[in-house]
Structure 1
């Protein structure tokens, strides 16, 4: 009886350690992949022009690592090299500025993303969120309603639009 309880305990412990080990390994592999991108792209891009895709890729890695200033430099370079607004790059720039609390700049780049691709649901959701942070509930609601026109099942837009509708309703207090 004691032996089977000990065996059960050891099996549970081994299972828990296996799950934790999996997540640690996954995190280490993700970090390794990010560092590999930085090691390969950073020296090349600092010497030459590079493609918009390369600058976007490096900027995206910097975003994932929370290095917003470095991300902004690379993402702006991607737009400069491309000579046009690329929706995912504009959205990523918006996210970088949003993450730093620079909501006006975030709104600018989210607007650039949806102007370049009016069906870009993620950028519309992000634009709505940035408007909310600025307490601009009307424009925020409009952005979420655009999402719902494009993707009626979008859970984020449904939830946020309902919240903003409640905030915009006139108070029933007399």
Structure 2
């Protein structure tokens, strides 16, 4: 169901599954992760991130959801949050072949911006 043209239907059915879920909450993390993937494929990154965050809240060691969360944050250009997500993966799986190179790349990219003033719209 997660093929490209079926994402809207997948989102609908996954939301229904969440509402009707009556089993172990840790298993529900997989449903939230799948919903996050569906939103991400539809380029709805804010919604995807919320689902991935819920998945790792329910199952803190869910490496796939942490990787997906890091990827979504990186797509949003929130490099510091992406870095934290990939570091979380490595706490649970130190040799993770997805997270390690991404974490290393993000460390150097985040480090490049240290000390660089950030534009804000906050007028005090």
Q: Which of 8, 26, 33 is the aligned partner of 1:69?
A: 8
Q: CA deviation at 1:66?
A: 4.0
Give the aligned length.
111
Q: Partner of 1:132: helix, strand, or coil?
A: helix
Please identify the structure whose Cα radius of gyration is greater.
Answer: 1
> What is the aligned partner in structure 1 of residue 74 from structure 2?
132
Q: What aligned pairs does 1:2-151 form with structure 2 within 5 A after superposition?
A: 62-64=1-3, 66-82=5-21, 86-151=28-93
Measure, in 1, the Cα distance between the counterparts of 2:73 and 2:81.
6
Gapped runs of 5+ residues in structure 2?
Answer: 114-124
Q: More helix per residue: 1 or 2?
A: 1
Q: Is the CA contact (8 Å cut-off) linking 2:4 and 2:41 kept in structure 1?
A: no
> What is the aligned partner in structure 1 of residue 119 from structure 2?
none
Q: Which of 96, 110, 116 is the aligned partner of 1:154?
A: 96
TM-score (norm 2): 0.84
Q: Partner of 1:161: helix, strand, or coil?
A: helix
> What is the aligned partner in structure 2 of residue 169 from structure 1?
111
Q: CA RMSD in A?
A: 1.7
Q: CA deviation at 1:124?
A: 0.3
Work out which structure has the larger RCO, using CA pairs closer than 8 Å and 6 or more positions apart in sequence.
2
